[in-house]
Amino acid sequence: MIVIATTVPKVQKWLEDALAEYAPQEAYCLAHSEQAQQATTAISWFPDLDYLETLPNLKLIHSMAAGVEHLNLKRIGDRYAVCRVVDESHQKGMYDYLQWCVLYYQRFFDVLIAQQLQQRWKQPPQKTSADVKIGIMGLGQMGGYIAEKFAKLGYQVSGWSRSLKQIEGVTCFAGDAQRQDFLAQSEILINLLPLTEDNVGLLNTELFQQLPKGACIINCGRGQHLNEQDLIAALDSEQLRGAILDVFAKEPLAQDHVFWQHPKVLVTPHVASHAPWSAVIGQILENDHRVQQGLALVNEVNVMKGY
């Protein structure tokens, strides 16, 4: 039995509609219902943990998304298993979005748009994929997939993660000791890190200064990774050429936020990629079955690491 667990009203409605379409009626229930006492899994987005702790049969707290930063993992500890949603269509969607972002800078569309506003006719150089150095922060299921895809297209791809990974065609770096070497060769830096206590504000002046002058930033991790004022300063000083931002510390982005009008910032409203509801519900149903049977879970999170 799956119980809906969210304190966000619009998400409550989304989950009710999705479960009604993709799950058997007897497989789920609402919070505070009589059936919830039998729930073994909570489908969650900013859940009420006080309430969940009253459910006697609960074994699994399942994020409805790829991220788990909306869960209080310290409080959850080892009391419950925690899982997240990872789906191939989600990976493909992210890759499609990032292909467009890379081409935006590779083919100088940022320059061409600025020239159009000035009614200026000037042809920029044409770079091939082999001319472009992409750096990807975060080489988990999403980042590793993206890195391998870009490498197969002929880009010079490097990746950085906390622990060393092996990915065909990708130069991999790991840990704090190797991060500077990784950044030094990243002309287009893509952030796909999960949000943890250790990396809040990681995209800051210190990091920007370690990138090649004129580098570009693409942030599809979390808004809290970015120090917004440091980014504006790096763009205004021309240390950075531009930034494409899909995630923000506060969403929706405030109408008076400087990012809307800054000529070197491209804002997208958290649309890089979403797993389809069919996949979200399918994975949660599968994990609820597994947790009841005592089987290994799909996409389980290491609560101590936060991802």
Q: 62, 84, 222, 290: which is the annotated catalytic residue?
A: 222
Q: Is 222 a catalytic residue?
A: yes
CA dihedral 255, 256, 261, 267 (to 10 degrees): -40
Residue with tokens 């504000």: 201
Helix, coil or strand: residue 12: helix
CA distance 139 to 165: 7
Residues near 69 by beta carbon (within 8 Å), at least 6 away in sequence: 194, 195, 196, 222, 224, 306
Alpha-carbon separation of residue 248 from 8, 41, 224, 227 (angstroms): 18, 29, 7, 10
133 and 159 Cβ atoms separated by less than 8 Å: no
Tokens 């990774």, residue located: 225
Report the distance separating Cα 13 and Cα 8, nearest Å: 9
Q: Are 227 and 204 in contact (CB under 8 A)?
A: yes
The active-site residue, picked from 70, 257, 262, 270, is 270
Nearest to 151 by CA among 139, 134, 163, 128: 134
Instruction: Find out whether 192 and 221 touch, Cβ atoms under 8 Å.
Output: yes
Helices (H), 25-87: 49-52, 73-76
- Tokens 């058997």 correspond to 24
Active site residues: 222, 270
